[in-house]
Amino acid sequence: MAERKKVLLRLDPAVHDALARWAGDELRSTNAQIEFLLRRALADAGRLPGSVGRMRRPGRPAKDETPEDE
């Protein structure tokens, strides 16, 4: 897997809190929720590159799945 890019993102605290609650409802981290929303927006706009890998499903990995880091 290619190295993931790091981005500093400044958010209004109320926006961050809303994202964090939404992420928790969907069993994602806030970071994963932001990536999910960005991917969805890119796909809706027809701008998601075909080379983009799939995101892991929300929640804990199944016992038979190998973590992405390995």
**How does pLDDT run along the chain (70 residues), one tens digit per residue?**
568 899 999 999 999 999 999 999 999 999 999 999 999 999 999 999 988 888 777 777 778 755 555 4
- The pTM score is 0.74
The answer to whether residue 3 sits within a structural domain is no
Domain carrying residue 22: 13-43
Distance from the first to the final alpha carbon of the chain: 10
Residue 66 in any domain: the answer is: no
Number of domains comprising the chain: 1
